[in-house]
Amino acid sequence: MAEEVLQDVFLKIWDKIDSYDREKGKLFTWMVNIARNQAIDKTRSREFSKDRQTGDLGKFVNRIDAKDHIELGVEAIGLRDLLNRLPEDQQFVIEKHYLKGYTQSEISEEFNLPLGTVKTRMRLAMQLLRNLLVK
């Protein structure tokens, strides 16, 4: 399924490249958002047709077929180490968002955190990561 998404994302980027505005942010950011939305759409539509449930992305990302399994390289271990250097609450929001595909609102609702708290934690996490990643 990941490969299907990958193809769709490339085609979408190709189609929508005219709407990219460099004044509003980097191209990379723009593409990441297309990719994320495409991945979320895909998991949702797929699971929806399967068991008529929507709303909880956590349920979707935890049910991935074996054929979608992709071997992680050595880099994944570096990633673990990197995330482990964040305070627990910040690690939590980063993982939920970047690895589990939760939106900030979903994190807020599902884990009973005010949206403002999710935002400031994400901010603190990104600042720490900036220091850790840019050496």
Partner 1 sequence: MNVEAYIASGILEAYVQGQLSAEEQADVEKNIFQYPELRKELAAIESTQELLLQQMAIQPNASLKDVILSKISMPPTSKTVPMDTRPNGRWNWAAAAAIAVAAIASYFAFDYRGKWKDSQRALTDLIAQNQQVAQDYNTVNERLDRLELDVNIINNPAFTRVVLKGTEQSPSALASLYWNETTKEVYLSIREMKELSAENQYQLWAIIDGKPVDAGIFDLTKGRLIRMKDVKPGAKTFAVTIEPKGGKATPTLETMQVAGNVIEG
Q: Report the interface residues with partner 1, using CB under 8 A.
A: 1-3, 5-7, 9-11, 13-14, 17-18, 20, 22-29, 31-39, 61-62, 64, 68-73, 75-76, 78-79, 82, 94, 97-101, 103-105, 116, 118-123, 126, 129-130, 133-134
Angstrom distance (rounded) from CA 107 to CA 109: 6
Q: How far is the CB of 62 from partner 1 (least distance, A)?
A: 7
Phi and psi torsions of 123, nearest 5°: -60, -50
- Tokens in use for 11? 């085609």
Residues 81, 75 contacting (CB under 8 angstroms): no
Q: How far is the CB of 88 from partner 1 (least distance, A)?
A: 17
Distance of CA 80 to the CA centre of its chain: 16
Residues 91, 125 contacting (CB under 8 angstroms): yes
Q: How far is the CB of 54 from partner 1 (least distance, A)?
A: 18
